[in-house]
Amino acid sequence: MSNLFCTVVIPCRDGEKTLPQTLDSLLAQTVPIQILVANDASIDATPRILKEYAKQGVISINYPTREPRNYARVPVLLNMLKPIEPDTPYYMVSGDDTVFPPDYIKRITENMEQHGASVASGVSIQYKHRTTKAPPGGSGRVFTKEAWKNLTPFYPNIAWESGALYKARSFGYTLGFYDVEKSHINPQTADSTWTFGHAAYLLGTPLSYTFIRVIKSIKRHDHPTWSAICILLGQLEYEIKRPQRVDIWRYDRENKYLQRNRVVLRVLTGWMPLGIKDWIRKSMKRRTKNEY
């Protein structure tokens, strides 16, 4: 295994309709990789599919029990793969419903080396209109060996993806988002964006910022209108239930709040009386210091 270039880890649950396309695209990569799949007690043909792909070197392990479907299952499955990960220069997280071009990993890692990035991803063809200033996210996120070691295991909850990026920034890692296409087979649903709202709460995102985010998302057509609104509804649900938040504050508390509060203030500027604006600035600053 000394010649392996990248380890690809895939959480999978009932992926019979999409997993073969994902595995085929990964097996066609132009650099040598090892594929590891964590099967979340699938009850469809996924176990049989994995048995067939084992003949091509795909390694899989099974979660022992069938738990309720929840996006928070993803980091649990990824962390389950850590004991069997080979030592490679790069690591990539993939969903079980993403198709990659043959040179995806090669092009992403070349860009990472050129720009000094430690965490990076390409762009889904469904979201080509998004700016390249966006953080690396979703299926196809690639980590250097050092970043993978320092950023894993992932937080075992819905906020694991953003939490990893906050940690990355705290280590001084550069994040990359490159014009290398990938394609999601399954469309994003309102159930998915509802969990984005859960994650926003767990990460301590101000509700006012999420509101602005939803408006911008609708305006830019990042999501269908109802799916975008579900981000806000998801955060409102957790604002009522008050589950324990993720401790990313020790990594990026000051910058996170100040940056997001500035966004809200910029939107408010221009129509709100000066006295009220000053009061909001002071109250937001107090919240930044006292939230945790």
**Domains contained in the chain, number:** 2
Is the peptide bond preceding residue 153 cis, with omega within 30 degrees of 0?
yes
Q: Is 1 within a domain?
A: no
pLDDT score for 281: 57
Question: Domain limits at 95?
Answer: 6-184
Give yes or no: residues 180 and 241 share one domain: no
For residue 72, pLDDT beyond 90: no
User: Which of 164, 184, 204 is a domain's end point?
Assistant: 184
Length of the chain, in residues: 292
For residue 286, pLDDT beyond 80: no
The β-bridge partners of 143 are 91, 119
Give yes or no: residues 157 and 284 share one domain: no
Bridge-based pairing of strands 33-39 and 6-12 is parallel
Give yes or no: residues 45 and 88 share one domain: yes
For residue 159, give the amino acid letter.
A
Give yes or no: residues 171 and 197 share one domain: no
Query: CA nearest 138: which of 209, 193, 68?
Result: 193
Give yes or no: residues 51 and 166 share one domain: yes
- Rounded Cα distance between 120 and 192, Å, is 22
Backbone angles phi, psi at 186, to 5 degrees: -85, 135
Give yes or no: residues 15 and 159 share one domain: yes
Backbone angles phi, psi at 118, to 5 degrees: -105, -20
Query: What tokens were used for 263?
Result: 């966004």
For residues 86 and 3, the answer to whether their CB atoms sit within 8 Å is no
pLDDT score for 195: 86
| Helix (H) or strand (E) segment spanning residue 216 | helix 207-220
Strand-by-strand arrangement of the 117-124 sheet: 59-62, 33-39, 6-12, 90-93, 141-144, 117-124, 174-184, 98-99
- Rounded Cα distance between 74 and 194, Å, is 16
Per-residue pLDDT tens for 89-122? 999 999 999 999 999 999 999 999 999 999 999 9
pLDDT score for 292: 35
Per-residue pLDDT tens for 214-247? 998 888 887 889 999 999 999 999 999 988 887 6
Give yes or no: residues 273 and 148 share one domain: no
User: Which of 135, 169, 184 is a domain's end point?
Assistant: 184
User: Which of 184, 206, 241 is a domain's end point?
Assistant: 184
Per-residue pLDDT tens for 114-159? 999 999 999 887 665 554 455 556 799 999 999 999 999 998 888 8
User: Alpha helix locations (H) across 81-206?
Assistant: 104-115, 145-151, 160-170, 190-202
Q: Is 254 within a domain?
A: yes
Q: Is 161 within a domain?
A: yes
Q: Is 13 within a domain?
A: yes
For residue 252, pLDDT beyond 70: no
End-to-end CA distance of the chain: 45
Query: CA nearest 39: which of 60, 68, 25?
Result: 60
Q: Is 55 within a domain?
A: yes
What proportion of the chain, given as a percentage, has pLDDT over 70? Answer: 79
Whether the predicted model's global pTM rises above the 0.85 cut:
no
Bridge-based pairing of strands 98-99 and 33-39 is unpaired
Q: How many CB atoms lie within 10 A of CB 66?
A: 11
Give yes or no: residues 216 and 172 share one domain: no
Give yes or no: residues 155 and 39 share one domain: yes
Give yes or no: residues 10 and 154 share one domain: yes
Per-residue pLDDT tens for 18-46? 999 999 999 999 999 999 999 999 999 99
**C-alpha 17 chain-centroid distance:** 22
- Across the chain, mean pLDDT equals 84
Give yes or no: residues 34 and 171 share one domain: yes
pLDDT band, residue 251 (cuts 50/70/90): low
Q: How many CB atoms lie within 10 A of CB 10?
A: 27
Residues in contact with 38: Cβ distance below 8 Å, sequence separation at least 6, in sequence order: 9, 10, 11, 12, 60, 61, 63, 77, 78, 80, 81
